[in-house]
Amino acid sequence: MELHAALVERWLRDYLCAFGFELHPLQVGWYNTVLQPSFHLAYPDSTLAFVVLSTPSMFDKAFKPFVSKQLLLKRIRDPVDQCISHHLSLVKEHFPDEKVHIIYDYEMLPNRKPKFLAQTAAHVSGAAYYYQRKDVKCDPWGEKKIYGVCIHPQYGGWFAIRAILIFPEIQVPFLEQYAPIDCVTTEEKRIQLLEKFNFHWQDWSYRDIIEVKERYSEEQKTYFATPPAERFKLLGLQG
């Protein structure tokens, strides 16, 4: 990686890791090349981008402190999304001379398609392996629609893909691409994973398909298992 890009990456890593985020660099071309044109990101192939993930510790390191500050201001509608955009906006401010485009995982195009396919971006950046129906040779699902899911080598399914940061003015033609770690290797486990994710996702079990280094705390699980409109009570706010 050229020096400027390396310095950008170092700063991002130092800043975001302290808040429980993880980031993985990629060239926009790696992403575009595996997708149909309607999903392409309109940048030259060698443009530098980063996939941003939240790890289990984001909840304590970023989310709770963010909420307790915002509580005083009482301007909070989407606490999780606002916490993430708060930190990523600070990233933008840190690079005033640099163009930084941010696309969040929940952003939609007018045709209701997502602005970027987060799991594909995570896979091509090497962050987490995207297991799909095509990764299973003999599948038992017939006509059913089966969604794929990313598994992280350290956190299993206990993480979330939050955004892609694009630096349109930084080109990294020599960036090395690492394949994601294939941690769910057997046919049997892959079937189990897709089965659990598609039909039992609410019991959290797909997230433990591999042994993990860290998972969500009971507090964090309760928070995410509660419908968003009722979470304000958990945070000590009126709904």
Contacting residues toward ligand GSH, per CB under 6 A: 78-81, 160, 224, 228
Q: State the Cα–Cα distance between residues 180 and 98, nearest whole angstrom.
A: 29
From start to end of the chain, where are the E strands? 21-27, 47-54, 101-104, 129-131, 149-151, 160-171
Nearest to ligand GSH by Cβ — which residue? 78
Residue nearer to ligand GSH on the CB measure, 2 or 78: 78
Coil, strand or helix: which one is 146?
Answer: coil
Nearest-approach distance from CB 115 to ligand GSH, in angstroms:
15
Nearest-approach distance from CB 224 to ligand GSH, in angstroms:
5
Residue nearer to ligand GSH on the CB measure, 97 or 218: 218
Nearest-approach distance from CB 79 to ligand GSH, in angstroms:
4
Nearest-approach distance from CB 60 to ligand GSH, in angstroms:
14
Residue nearer to ligand GSH on the CB measure, 47 or 55: 55
Nearest-approach distance from CB 160 to ligand GSH, in angstroms:
4
Residue nearer to ligand GSH on the CB measure, 80 or 210: 80
B/e letters for 78-113, b = 16+ CB within 10 Å, e = fewer, are: ebbeebbeebbeebeeeeeeeebebbbbeeeeeeee
Q: 131 with 184: CB under 8 angstroms?
A: yes
Residue nearer to ligand GSH on the CB measure, 58 or 136: 58
Pull the structure tokens for residue 122. 């995570």
Q: State the Cα–Cα distance between residues 169 and 24, nearest whole angstrom.
A: 18
Residue nearer to ligand GSH on the CB measure, 190 or 231: 231
Pull the structure tokens for residue 192. 């189990």
Amino acid at 146: I
Nearest-approach distance from CB 227 to ligand GSH, in angstroms:
9
Coil, strand or helix: which one is 29?
Answer: helix
